[in-house]
Structures are given as C-alpha cells and as structure tokens.
Structure 1
Amino acid sequence: MATFLMVCVFGGLGAVTRFIVDTSVRRWWKNRLFPLATFMINCLAGFCAGIAAAGYVNGEVDYATRTLFVVGFLGGFSTFSTLINEVMALLRGKQFAMAGLYCLLSMVVPVLCTVAGWGVASLAY
C-alpha cells in the first residue's frame, strides 16, 4: 500500500513538473505549428528513463526507486495522450505534413533519447 501511495505522489509531482515545463516552453515558443513543449517533455522523459533503466540493470538503482521514478514521476511527466491530441489538432488544421513529421519525430526521437540516457548512465556505472 505504501508503494501505491508513493507512486501516486510521484505521479502528481511529475504532472506538476510537466505543467511547469509546458507553460514555460509555450511562453517562449511562439510557433504554434510545431508542439515543441510536449516533444521536449517526452524526449527528456525518455532520456531519464534510459538513465533509470541502466541504473537498475547495473544494480545502482533498486526496484522501489526505479518504480517511483519511472512509473510515478515519469509516468506523470510524459504524455502520449497530449501528443495524440496535438497531432489531431494539426490534422484538423489541415497541417498534414507537420502532423506526420511531428508524429514520426515523437515516436523516434524519444526512443533515441532513451538509448542516449542508457549510454550516458552506463558510462557512469
């Protein structure tokens, strides 16, 4: 029960962090054609997930910590549903090429960020 409650708390912290990052990037990024905030958030989450995975595999991070960070915090921080909503908004606005590019980049780049996070963490361990 304690783990469940802690995942809830960490998920809430991740969601609040996403809100802060999203709001900050949207204030700075005036180009409404490319949803940079969600893209950046998901790339950062992928990078952090890679670090956590490498730490767990190498025995530097225990299961409970990995669960709280990856399932809780990163689960609340990253967002696939917002990505899909933004793709749909681009499609509704007849921005077909941008929707396709955004969708493709949003599937590929966060995975590459995860690999990069794994690589960086593996060097440290």
Structure 2
Amino acid sequence: MSQALLYTYIALGGALGACLRYFLSSGIDSWFGKTMPFGTLTVNVLGSFSLALVYGFIERQELAESPYRALIGVGLLGAFTTFSTFSIETLTLLENGLWIKAVANILLNVTACLLAAWLAIELLKG
C-alpha cells in the first residue's frame, strides 16, 4: 500500500472518529447532564474496548497488514479517543511484567496532562 493511500485511510478514519466522539459525548452529556463528564467517560471506555479488540485481531494476524488497521485502529479510534492508546500501552507494559513502567506511565500521563492543562489556563489568565 502506498504512503498516500495509508494516510488517506487514516484521515478518513480520523474524520469519522472525531465526528463519532462529538456525537456520542454530546448526546450522553445532554441525556445525563454535565454534572459529571459521562460523555467523555463513555467515549474513553468504548474506545479502550474497541482498540483492545483491534489489537487482539492484530495479534492473531487477522489485521496485521490490512488497510483497516490504519483506518480503524489509527484513524477512527485515534480520533475517537487517545485514552484507548494509553490503555493498550499500559496493559502491554503490565503484560510484559513491567509494573514500574506501567505505574510510571499512568502517573506521568495523568499528572503531566493535568499540569499542562492547568498551566495553559493560568497562562491565558495572564
């Protein structure tokens, strides 16, 4: 498969994933209210489950060289939620017995991302 075609699959999947994320999270939030971010939670849980399924098919060599791997795994689910990637990477570390790295990955991602978001807000306050 050419690089141009590969990036086309990723772009198409990404557009679908972003639209699906907005549709689902805003729908859940309007249904349950915004007192708790249930829309984001739903997207993260569904995305993590879905990417784990894709990962399983890749491991079984059913999607190893398929264009659907780029379309679904990278594009659609990558735009749907990056939390799914974080989840699979952390599980892979755990499965390989790299407990310290897995815990460090969790702590660094949560702490660094919250700190970066806080810093951006503080910078905008001026």
Q: TM-score range by the shorter chain?
A: 0.5 to 0.7
Q: CA deviation at 1:31?
A: 4.7
**Corresponding residue number in structure 1 for 2:56:** 54
Task: Work out which of the two has the higher radius of gyration on C-alpha atoms and give 1 or 2.
Answer: 2
Q: CA deviation at 1:79?
A: 4.8
Give the whole-Å Cα distance in 1 for the aligned partners of 2:41 and 2:82: 9
User: Greater RCO between the two (CA within 8 Å, min separation 6)?
Assistant: 1
Contact 1:38–1:79 (CA under 8 A) maintained in structure 2: no
**Corresponding residue number in structure 2 for 1:29:** 32
Q: How many residues align?
A: 85
Using the size of structure 1 for normalisation, the TM-score is 0.60
Using the size of structure 2 for normalisation, the TM-score is 0.59
The AA in structure 1 aligned to 2:30 is R
Give the whole-Å Cα distance in 2 for the aligned partners of 1:13 and 1:48: 15
Give the whole-Å Cα distance in 2 for the aligned partners of 1:10 and 1:20: 15
Contact 1:10–1:68 (CA under 8 A) maintained in structure 2: yes
Give the whole-Å Cα distance in 2 for the aligned partners of 1:5 and 1:53: 21
Give the whole-Å Cα distance in 2 for the aligned partners of 1:12 and 1:51: 21
Q: CA deviation at 1:9?
A: 1.0
Between the aligned residues of both structures, percent identity stands at 25
Q: Provide the alpha-carbon RMSD of the alignment.
A: 2.4
The AA in structure 2 aligned to 1:47 is F
Give the whole-Å Cα distance in 1 for the aligned partners of 2:74 and 2:27: 24
The AA in structure 2 aligned to 1:20 is F
**Corresponding residue number in structure 1 for 2:7:** 4
**Corresponding residue number in structure 1 for 2:40:** 38
Runs of 4+ that moved beyond 4 A: none
